[in-house]
Amino acid sequence: MAPTPQTPPAGAHTLPHNPPRRRTRVLGALLAVTALGGTGWLAWHLTHPATSPGGPGLSSPSGAGGPSGRRGPPASTVGVATAGRASIPVTLEALGTVTPQASVKVRPQVSGVLEKVLFKEGQKVRAGELLATLDARPFELALQQASGQRQRDDAQLDSARVTLQRFKTLLAQDSIARQEVDTQAALVKQLEGTVAIDKANEGVARLNLSYTRITAPAGGRVGLRVVDVGNVVSSSDANGIALITQISPIDVVFAVPQDQAGALQQSAAAGTAMAVAALDRTRSATLDTGVFASLDNQVDTTTGTVKAKARFANAALALFPGQFVNVRLQLATIDNAVVVPVTALRHSNDGDYVYVLNAAERTVSLRTVQRGQATADSIQIAAGLKAGEQVITEGADRLKDGASVTLPGAAKPANGASAPRRHRRASQAEGA
């Protein structure tokens, strides 16, 4: 007889059929909580470094770092420079235009056919040097005509003067009427006026003949030739024959702020020679050096500046008329100023500051300073720093006030290493 299946009593709980799945979920939750706790401990450890007894941010050489055995952040290697004293020039920089002292467009004084051109393009000429000649034959003939007219009138004047003298003799003998004498005297005066006109005409003809020789009115450099031989030229030509510009010496015109115009005027009136340097477009090379020459007599109301002029010898011909250059005018010199490298000065919302090295503790201190004049590689510290103090020039981006630093070439103990060699030698001496 087969056994009868037993039915569980009413109200009894049925056991689950998947107990391994529940244990897996519990184990995963425990692992997640453990990982979260470890991450939080690591974050706290990194943001709260242990400090050594030597000061904030300094780690123990042995790596213990105190009772807890934790280390602070490693010291940063930095570059150091010593604040010194030097003379700082007070300069003014502006954009200037090279302007020749003289620029003359050579034009003929009379109209005529260009016969010869005696200059070369780009040639340097002296004042009075012959540049070109015109066909002089028409002017020679005009001079001969004026000279002949004067000679004819001179002969008539001489004849009238002899006749007048004869009439005066006859009048003294009461042999002629006074009216004839007066008439002859008037004729003499008329002929004298005619001769004077003839002399002036002769002088004009001689002057026009000299104008056929075209000379340089000023010394300088000749530009490109704009007319060829055989063309008819005149004084009304717009381009003329040549353009002469004086390039040595040469001037540079630039603008200065109206606030500094008074100081420049006083220095110029006192006879103080202010040095001026002309730099190229990139300010990397000095084209020439000169002196301050003059200042304009009024302020440009549209820009608030005053035009100034500097003069350069331009012996090397580095300055060219119409060229744009950067002008650096030295106004004064600050003697015995405290200077540091430009890389040592840093900026923040609270002002300028530097990191000063504490050599004994190998730490840095943030110090607010007042900057002054600057040069290409150094800057003046007007207040907040003394000469002889050491400042950080490299690696300051990683520093804070009181941070520890390592100087280039200093010994760096490794983690868990023993004391420096000199300490070991001292210990061995004591043991012996």
pLDDT recorded at residue 267: 80
Over residues 268-293, mean pLDDT:
88
Q: What's the topology of domain 76-87+336-406? A: 2.40.420
User: Residue 140 pLDDT > 90, yes or no?
Assistant: yes
Q: What is the CATH number of domain 93-101+247-334?
A: 2.40.30.170
What is the tens place of the pLDDT at every residue in 298-313? 898 899 999 999 999 9
Give span(s): CATH 2.40.420.20, the chain.
76-87+336-406
Span 168-192, pLDDT tens digits: 999 898 888 999 999 999 999 999 9
Considering the chain, what is the average pLDDT of its residues? 81
20 — pLDDT class (breaks 50, 70, 90): low
Range 393-416 average pLDDT: 71
Residues with Cβ within 8 Å of 64's Cβ and at least 6 positions away in sequence, in order, are none
> Which residues contact residue 151 at a Cβ distance below 8 angstroms, ignoring those fewer than 6 apart?
none
What is the mean predicted confidence (pLDDT) over 99-116?
92
* Pair 63, 416: CB distance under 8 Å: yes
Q: Judge: domain 136-211, CATH 1.10.1660.
A: no
CA distances from 83 to 123, 151, 379, 389 (A): 54, 92, 10, 6
The boundaries of every CATH 2.40.30.170 domain in the chain are 93-101+247-334
Helix axes 178-210, 137-172, angle to 10 degrees: 160
Q: Which residue has the higher pLDDT, 59 or 128?
A: 128
End-to-end CA distance of the chain: 103
Q: What's the average model confidence in pLDDT over 18-41?
A: 71
Instruction: Determine if the pTM surpasses 0.75.
Output: no
**pLDDT band, residue 409 (cuts 50/70/90):** low
Q: What is the reported pLDDT for 422? A: 43
CB-based contacts of 211, cutoff 8 Å, min separation 6: 108, 109, 110, 134, 139
Per-residue pLDDT reduced to its tens digit, 316-326: 989 999 999 99
Does domain 102-135+221-245 bear CATH number 3.30.70.270?
no
Query: What pLDDT is attached to residue 19?
Result: 53
Please return the burial class of 77, using the count of CB atoms within 10 Å of its CB with bins 0-12, 13-18 and 19+. middle
Share of the chain above pLDDT 90, in %: 39
